Amino acid sequence: MSSYHNPVMLRESVAALAMKPDGVYVDATLGGGGHSNAILAQLQPNGRLYAFDCDADAAANIPQDIRFKFIHNNFKYLQNCLRYVDCTSVDGILADLGVSSHQFDCGERGFSFRFEADLDMRMNRKASLTAAQVLRHYPEEELERIFRQYGEMAQSSRIAALIVQARSQKSMERTVDLEHALEPIVPHANTHKFWATLYQSLRIEVNREMEALEALLVQSLHLLKSGGRLVIITYHSLEDRMAKNFMRSGNIHGEVSKDFYGNQNTPFIAVTKKAITPSQQEVEQNNRARSAKLRVVEKK
């Protein structure tokens, strides 16, 4: 399990579910199975756990447990998939967002600039859109939007222009092609951050990650029972902002409505006043935990 993915804030996130031994729970991101196994350890025989993952590789980590059901699909289809297995309400939903260590470390998947590989970045390898196709076919203004919106990169317009220039002379298929195209503007300082942010931007676009997160959040409001908990672990500001807004107001824009008397109409009670972050010890043991934030709410 740990070689596939080291689950972040495992103890804190599962504890945040405030589990009922006979409850029904969702692990929206199975990954290496770390969170799922920890949830199962607290369930009685009549408890149930449904886990989602659109990456076929995650199927290798399915717990052999009759209380467990794996759903090989994106969590944006949460409600429909659960309805298909006769589940219409749950006691808790946990989502550990982002990319698994396995996906980062498997060079052929194209998620990391550390390897020379095809520019793929698909979490679901049956999906049609790859990072290479984005770089080859998106108009310059759309490329600029991706790097500005999903990476908040100061040189987004320059990056887009260099890619368009490079692809007119050579195919944009592999990581090395992208490196050569952007060589003139890669900073000598913070080189790692530049590439990490750029790859993050492309990955979000390829996998429609923000759309999927919005769908998960909206559907959680319909699925959670009163007293049910929503536990989200985010890894970058865009995810965290959306989760924070939704948990505060019940919508992704963070717009809180008020009743006639000026009282706020919100569907959730905050369990944590601010985001929980990993301990220094965990960050030292798992560097990929350094940007994680854990937020928890309970449905009224």
Q: What does DSSP assign to residue 238?
A: H
Query: What does the pLDDT read at residue 95?
Result: 98
Checking if the pLDDT of 1 tops 80, the result is no
Enter the CATH code of domain 109-207: 1.10.150.170
Q: Following DSSP, what letter does each residue of 24-84 receive, concatenated?
A: EEEES--TTSHHHHHHHTT--TT-EEEEE-S-GGGGGG----TTEEEE-S-GGGHHHHHHH
| Cβ atoms within 10 Å, residue 102 | 19
**Identity of the highest mean pLDDT range in 2-16, 19-33, 251-265:** 19-33
Q: What does DSSP assign to residue 155?
A: T
What is the band of 102 on the pLDDT scale with cuts at 50, 70, 90? confident
Beta bridge partners of 26: 50, 93
**Cα gap 293→275, rounded to integer Å:** 6
Q: What is the CA radius of gyration of the chain?
A: 20
Helix H or strand E encompassing 94? strand 90-96
The 10s digit of each residue's pLDDT in 270-294 is: 999 899 999 999 999 998 899 999 9
**Cα gap 223→230, rounded to integer Å:** 10
Checking if the pLDDT of 300 tops 50, the result is yes
**What is the share, in percent, of the chain residues with pLDDT greater than 90?**
85
Average pLDDT over residues 129-146: 98
Domain ranges of the chain: 10-101+209-299, 109-207
Domain pair 10-101+209-299 / 109-207, same fold: no
Average pLDDT over residues 68-97: 97
Task: To the nearest 10°, report the CA torsion of 256, 214, 103, 61.
Answer: 100
**Cα gap 44→52, rounded to integer Å:** 21
The 10s digit of each residue's pLDDT in 182-232 is: 999 999 899 999 999 999 999 999 999 999 999 999 999 999 999 999 999
The pair of structure tokens assigned to 174 is 């592999």
Task: To the nearest 10°, report the CA torsion of 241, 242, 247, 248.
Answer: 60
Checking if the pLDDT of 71 tops 70, the result is yes
Angle at 288 between CA 177 and CA 232, to 5 degrees: 110
Average pLDDT over residues 99-111: 85
Angle at 187 between CA 181 and CA 191, to 5 degrees: 90
Checking if the pLDDT of 180 tops 70, the result is yes
Helix H or strand E encompassing 181? helix 175-182
Checking if the pLDDT of 40 tops 90, the result is yes
What does each C-alpha distance from 112 to 32, 54, 192, 193, 202 come to in angstroms?
19, 19, 11, 12, 11
With H, G, I as helix, E, B as strand and everything else as coil, classify residue 85: coil
According to CATH, the topology of domain 10-101+209-299 is Rossmann fold (3.40.50)
Query: What does the pLDDT read at residue 3?
Result: 60
- Average pLDDT value for the chain: 94
Checking if the pLDDT of 66 tops 60, the result is yes
Q: pTM of the prediction?
A: 0.93
What sign does the CA torsion over 281, 49, 82, 18 have?
negative
What is the band of 35 on the pLDDT scale with cuts at 50, 70, 90? very high
